[in-house]
Every structure is written in structure tokens, then in C-alpha cells.
Structure 1
């Protein structure tokens, strides 16, 4: 990454931080007559999440030094909202838990928070709310400490998925291989033909999800004769590469073609797609012809692969 690109990206992150800090500040301030400081409210929230919590764990979660944490807990304890006592498993450690009064106080704070955040979300229509929550989930997955869910799911396309297939093919192939809008148009025609014949039992498509996010696709469509199937539109998002997603998609596609009685399967790909070519070769496909083409911008080599089913 050159210095100009780095500076632009740093500026974007800073602008987001300023905006989001302002939003969080409004939510954190709460009503003017709030009974608890932000720090006290955060302690009540964390302690309320489980029957009892080790003080050391609480300090780590809220990034509090020992002295400040002790003062916060003392204030809340003096108001009858929580209790501190020695752990039965390790007398060197303290545990903290809410009293009945503490649970009532937390319920009130939680209700206020729901109203505030609900008010923020209600400023946007439902579609924008979903976009906002999706973006938050992406940030959490990328920068959070929690190990992301890597469960792989292959499913049939849902509304919106076919448009996503066209969009991601156009975006990724332009960015990674320099192909122009004519390639995206080709993908759009393949997808449109698939949708026009959606009731044809000889064709199928799969969308791959990894951790709940769309990361890939593949299509099986009829070929030039009744005995030949075509494998088309294998797509892998960069984040999905190396997780066996492509292998699973190709296997599913080939098994469908076998089940439907096809005798052979063909595909066309670019010679530069080394990872995809490796997947095809391991699945049993053989390279049968190559042909240079500039139909999508730069001069590239197209390859036809075939396997007997």
C-alpha cells in the first residue's frame, strides 16, 4: 500500500471515529436526571449478565485499574445495589453480584437504553437498519477478539442472491484480473437465463455462506446437448479462500449433475485462475482446449475443461 492510499484510509477511519464517538456520546449521556454515572451503569450491566462475577474479570472487561474499580464497587455497594464477597473456590479472589435492589436498578437502566437505541434506529427505514446492523457485525468480526463463526452452509438462492452473484463477479474480476463490464454482462445473461428457467429440474445453483455471510456461488445448467451439464459461475470471496469452500461447491455441483443423469460436465475458466483450476483438476476435470480472447478487455487465455460422469 502506498503512502497516499494509507493516508486516505487513515482519514476515513478517523472520520468514522469522530462520527461514531458523537453518536455513542449522546446515548451514553442519557437523561439529565440519570441516577448513575456511565461507569456505574457499565458495572451494573456487566454484573447483571451472570449470577456472580469475579472482580478481576470485571476489571478486564471494562479496562479499569484496581483503585478506580474498588471505588466504583464501594459506591454501588453502599447504595445496596451489589455485594462483594470472597470466592468459595479461591479465597484470594473476590466475586460480586447484584442485590434485589441492584436488579431493579439494572432493569430500569436497561429499559432506558432500549428506548434510546430504539429511537436511534427508528430514524432509519427497515432496509437501512439492516445495513447498519450488518456493518456493525462486519466491524465486530474483523476487529473483535471473539473467534468468528466459520460454519459453512450451502443453500439454494434466495431473493437478492442472483443480483449479488452478478455484482460480486463484476467487482472481483475487475479488481483482480482487470476484466471490464462485458464480463459482468456475460454473468448477468447466464443468471437471467437461469432465472427464466427456474422450474427446470436439470439445473440448480448454490450460495455458500461462511459464518452467516455470503462468500461464494456455483451453478449447474444444461449444456449443448441433453447428455452434457455445464458448471458455471464458481465464485469465492477472498475471505472464503483456503477454507475448502470451492471444493464443497464443485462437489455439490458434480453430484447434482450425476443424480440428474448427465454423462459429462464441462466448464470454461481463465488460465490465470490457478486456485480454481486446481479444484477442478482434483475433482476429476481434464483440460481439453485453450483459446486466447480479448472479449472482456485484456487479452487472456480461456480454457475448456471436461469430465466424464
Structure 2
């Protein structure tokens, strides 16, 4: 994949099957990195409407990274409580596609979208000890805020807040 061309595709509710496939892969491969678990999104939770609703969150921007015609990454941005703050969610890149710029492209596109939408700050959570994700986020201009977003499902590790200022 060296020298790979990364294509970004915006997805919405009608793309729920693709999003589900990537999210299942993400939660299976990197369960240590997410507050949600694969079990929560499978079984009774694996309903079409739930996936459509996830991709229809008001004000959201959902992207899939594609390399050589294969979906290899995902990320979302959406406001939560404060309209001037956008959160980066569901960030994941397939291990086979890491190191070729998929993560950087996904984050840069969401940052650009957020700034154009009027947000002044982007927030995210990263699990303490996830040094690869931390390096990606720092490279994209994020820094730790000192806040803790909560505990991970294992009850041991914390989800640490990172933020960056957005330029309009």
C-alpha cells in the first residue's frame, strides 16, 4: 500500500451496511480503543434502523476511507452539547492500511468540515496507553486537555480528552 491513493467517501443512512461492516471490524480488531463493544452492536443491537439512525445524527459528517477500491477506515464528526464544539468519533483504520495516510486524511477532512460549519474547537477521546492513536492526533494538532471523558468498559483504563482549535 505504499504510495496508495486514499479516497474519502461521505456516507449517510443509506450506506448503513458499509458503516456496520467497518464498525464491526473496528470493534473486533481494536476493542481496547472504544467505549462501545462489539457485543453491544451485534445481536439485538444489530438492527438496520439503529445503524441508519447513527448515520443520521443531526449535524453529523461521516466518512469512509477507501484504498484500491477497498474500504479501510472510518471517522465521524458531530456536535454534542455546544454548537461551537465538534467531536471526532468512530475513528478507525484497518491495520493493513495504517501508515499510508488514511487516518490523517480522515481527520483533516473532518476538521475542515467542522471549521466550515462554524465550530471553533474539535474534541475527541483517546484511551490512555493507545500510543499510535495519540501520535496521530498530536500530528493533527490535538493536545490533552487534562479532562477525563470517563472509564473504559474494562473499568481500569480512562478515556482522555484531547482538543484542538479550529480556524474558520
- The TM-score, its normalising length taken from structure 1, stands at 0.45
Q: Is 1:155 the equivalent of 2:9?
A: yes
Structure-1 separation of matches of 2:10 and 2:157:
32
Q: Is 1:263 the equivalent of 2:120?
A: yes
Structure-1 separation of matches of 2:70 and 2:3:
10
Specify which of 60, 77, 85 is matched with residue 220 of structure 1.
77
Match of 2:164 in 1: 307
Q: Is 1:195 the equivalent of 2:49?
A: no
Structure-1 separation of matches of 2:7 and 2:163:
27
1:298 Cα shift? 5.7
Q: Over alpha carbons, which structure has the higher Rg?
A: 1
Match of 2:99 in 1: 242
**What is the DSSP-based 3-state SS (H/G/I as helix, E as strand, rest coil) of the residue aligned with 1:160?**
helix
1:308 Cα shift? 1.4
Specify which of 142, 147, 168 is matched with residue 285 of structure 1.
142
Structure-1 separation of matches of 2:145 and 2:134:
13
Match of 1:25 in 2: none
Structure-2 separation of matches of 1:253 and 1:168:
21
**What is the DSSP-based 3-state SS (H/G/I as helix, E as strand, rest coil) of the residue aligned with 2:81?**
coil
The CA RMSD measured in Å over matched residues stands at 3.1
Structure-2 separation of matches of 1:267 and 1:209:
23
- Aligned pairs for 1:68-107 (under 5 A) are none
Structure-1 separation of matches of 2:151 and 2:162:
20
Q: Which runs of 5+ in 1 are unaligned?
A: 1-146
Specify which of 153, 158, 162 is matched with residue 296 of structure 1.
153
Specify which of 85, 89, 102 is matched with residue 232 of structure 1.
89
1:178 Cα shift? 8.9
Match of 1:207 in 2: 64
**What is the DSSP-based 3-state SS (H/G/I as helix, E as strand, rest coil) of the residue aligned with 1:279?**
helix
Structure-1 separation of matches of 2:92 and 2:74:
5
Q: Is the 8 A contact 1:149 1:210 kept in 2?
A: no
1:165 Cα shift? 2.9
Structure-2 separation of matches of 1:305 and 1:216:
21
Structure-2 separation of matches of 1:216 and 1:253:
13
CA distance change for structure 1 residues 178 and 267 in 2, over 3 Å: closer, same or farther?
Answer: closer
Q: Return the structure number with greater helix share.
A: 1
| Cα displacement string for residues 50-98 of structure 1 (whole angstroms, at most 9, x for unaligned residues) | xxxxxxxxxxxxxxxxxxxxxxxxxxxxxxxxxxxxxxxxxxxxxxxxx
- The TM-score, its normalising length taken from structure 2, stands at 0.79
